[in-house]
Structure 1
Amino acid sequence: MKVSVIITTYNSEEWLEKVLLGYAVQTEPNFELIIADDGSSSATKRVIDSFKASFLHPIQHVWHEDEGFRKCKILNKAILQTHTDYLIFTDGDCIPRKDFVAQHLKSKEKGYFLSGGYFKLPMSISKLIDASHIQKQEAFSIRWLTKQGLKKSFKLSKLTKWNWFAVLMNWLTPTKKTFNGHNTSCFKEDLLAINGFNEEMLYGGLDREVGERLFNYGILAKQIRYSAICIHLDHKRGYASPEIWKNNNAIRAYNKKYNVIKIEKGIDQYY
């Protein structure tokens, strides 16, 4: 296997099914899937089990009890279940274009992590997308999306299929190169060196914090937001609060000020 794809999920089996359809039609088949499940019900397991015959390698379902938002903990556990030296991180609401895995592998480089993005869809189109739209790649077609009522904007340029344009825009975009949980990749050894995800972090900036510690460790970032494409399905967000954001921002500020690389409450708890 060339790479491990780690997908986070929590009680979103309708969206996860569409995401797994996207991974079932990848141009690069030589990868493993690890589902990092933050306490979903048995409905999620049924969806995962139904896809196991669609992949060259087994899908692993890494699950723990639902005790509130514990994304960092389940991600650390999932990382330790991978069998490759390179990891792609994404979410169970982000459908990958058929070349998603191939683009990450094409751009990977020692000393770097890759910073991708997503194209966000409204709820109406998120619901409309079905298996045929994913298999035929219509869900990534600007023409198809606008026919379904999506407003035209420059953001649609993310979905262009012209490689030269993607390379140019990766270079020109003013968006910072950050570690994004919905679309990023890195070498496993670099994550282990900084002790993985910080379990002191709850919702809000937990992925960025990992990237900031990778920067402190000496790892650089490459922009691939116009090359490695995924579409983000809409959903409600009810797991943030001002207090949590304040705590998370304080952790990040401290890490930046004191050049923190390896945090205390991380992946080494599970060795």
Structure 2
Amino acid sequence: MTIGVIISTYNNPQWLEKTLWGYTVQTRPADEIIIADDGSRPETAELIRSFEKRLPVRHVWHEDNGFRKTIILNKALAMATADYLVFTDQDCVPRHDFLATHERMACSGRFLSGGYFKLPMGISRLLSHEDIQSGRAFSLQWLMQQGLKLSFKCTKLVGNPLFAWLMNHITPTHATWNGMNSSGWRTDLLSANGFDERMQYGGEDRELGERLTNAGIRGKQIRYSAIVLHLDHNRPYVNDEAWQLNNAIRKNTKKLKLTRTEHGMTQQP
């Protein structure tokens, strides 16, 4: 099968560059990478062009008019041609086996819910091209040498396949569609009509997963197997009004067991 990556971004070329470095060292290279740009300034377009000889990257952009991530993601989804699509963000650096893991664990009638490990701001800024290319950025020992504090969440970086399999099965966390690290078949995503474009920040990704689940496409937990490093950042777009709107939409999706949104890629007249 062919595998594509859709990466959402907004005005953070420094973090996006680190993320793209991660895709240059994948053991299973992407067949297509689409950057879904929610209105970034020209620096982001310049950065993407600089990767065109190293990665099969394309750029879809619309003007900055507030948080419209779901709309630009739908435009990217419409542009995609790969059989299987991985969705992630500008601040999520993939481990070298990231795409190989998604491909290996993909199966009919399922979507995959991957994991992330949050880095503090100091280490996020510190990460260099060599750190990512060599893989030491994912070494728990190296991260602790840079000042990372040991916690239970560090178990995501153990890197042992058997341990990861065990943790995937015993974790109490439900498999949800999260925007930082999830994947599914393009045909399933198109049948769901993509993302609900009414939604702003706060659960907008999970609502898509809830519609997939209603359609019988169940989530599969791989949060200890497919890992990205989440670079630290502020969230100025968070607001209570958006949360209330999104929660109401999600409640309706669950109540009516919706499998397709009328406010997605193809709009109702």
* In 2: Cα distance, 1:150 partner to 1:209 partner: 33
CA contact (8 A) 1:117 1:180 kept: no
1:120 aligned to 2:118?
yes
Counterpart residue number, 2:211? 213
1:266 aligned to 2:264?
yes
Count of aligned positions: 268
Query: How far does residue 31 in structure 1 lie from its aligned partner after superposition?
Result: 2.1
- TM-score, with structure 2 as normaliser: 0.98
Query: How far does residue 82 in structure 1 lie from its aligned partner after superposition?
Result: 1.0
Query: Counterparts of 1:235-246 in structure 2 under 5 Å?
Result: 235-246=233-244
* In 2: Cα distance, 1:269 partner to 1:130 partner: 43
1:31 aligned to 2:31?
yes
Query: How far does residue 240 in structure 1 lie from its aligned partner after superposition?
Result: 1.4
Counterpart residue number, 2:53? 53
Three-state SS of the structure 2 residue aligned to 1:47 is helix
Counterpart residue number, 1:143? 141
Instruction: Deviation per CA, 1:17-47: give whole Å up to 9, x if none.
Output: 0000000010012421100000001100111
Counterpart residue number, 1:90? 88
Query: How far does residue 269 in structure 1 lie from its aligned partner after superposition?
Result: 4.2
CA contact (8 A) 2:188 2:212 kept: yes
* In 2: Cα distance, 1:114 partner to 1:70 partner: 24
Counterpart residue number, 2:253? 255
* In 2: Cα distance, 1:53 partner to 1:200 partner: 36
CA contact (8 A) 2:8 2:38 kept: yes
* In 2: Cα distance, 1:41 partner to 1:243 partner: 27
Counterpart residue number, 1:62? 60
Counterpart residue number, 2:169? 171
Counterpart residue number, 1:10? 10
Three-state SS of the structure 1 residue aligned to 2:58 is strand
* In 1: Cα distance, 2:31 partner to 2:146 partner: 33
Query: How far does residue 83 in structure 1 lie from its aligned partner after superposition?
Result: 1.6
CA contact (8 A) 2:200 2:246 kept: yes
* In 2: Cα distance, 1:81 partner to 1:136 partner: 32
Query: How far does residue 163 in structure 1 lie from its aligned partner after superposition?
Result: 0.6
Counterpart residue number, 1:77? 75
CA contact (8 A) 1:39 1:63 kept: yes
CA contact (8 A) 2:5 2:30 kept: no
CA contact (8 A) 2:25 2:96 kept: yes
Instruction: Deviation per CA, 1:137-179: give whole Å up to 9, x if none.
Output: 1110000000011001111110112111011111111111100
CA contact (8 A) 2:86 2:182 kept: yes
Query: How far does residue 110 in structure 1 lie from its aligned partner after superposition?
Result: 0.5
Counterpart residue number, 1:187? 185
* In 2: Cα distance, 1:232 partner to 1:182 partner: 8
2:107 corresponds, among 91, 106, 109, to 109
Structure 1 residues 81, 44: closer, same or farther in 2, change over 3 A? same
CA contact (8 A) 1:195 1:268 kept: yes
Q: Match for 2:49: what amino acid?
A: D
Q: Match for 1:79: what amino acid?
A: L
2:196 corresponds, among 193, 198, 215, to 198
* In 1: Cα distance, 2:225 partner to 2:115 partner: 9
* In 2: Cα distance, 1:237 partner to 1:247 partner: 18
* In 2: Cα distance, 1:269 partner to 1:98 partner: 38
1:40 aligned to 2:40?
yes
* In 2: Cα distance, 1:164 partner to 1:200 partner: 41
Three-state SS of the structure 1 residue aligned to 2:260 is coil
CA contact (8 A) 2:113 2:181 kept: yes
Q: Alignment identity in percent?
A: 56
CA RMSD of aligned residues (A): 1.1
* In 1: Cα distance, 2:110 partner to 2:250 partner: 20
Which structure 1 segments of 5+ residues have no match?
none
CA contact (8 A) 1:97 1:137 kept: yes
* In 2: Cα distance, 1:141 partner to 1:213 partner: 36
Counterpart residue number, 1:233? 231
Q: Match for 1:206: what amino acid?
A: E
Three-state SS of the structure 2 residue aligned to 1:149 is coil
* In 2: Cα distance, 1:30 partner to 1:94 partner: 16
Instruction: Deviation per CA, 1:79-134: give whole Å up to 9, x if none.
Output: 11112111000000000000000000000001000011200000000000010100
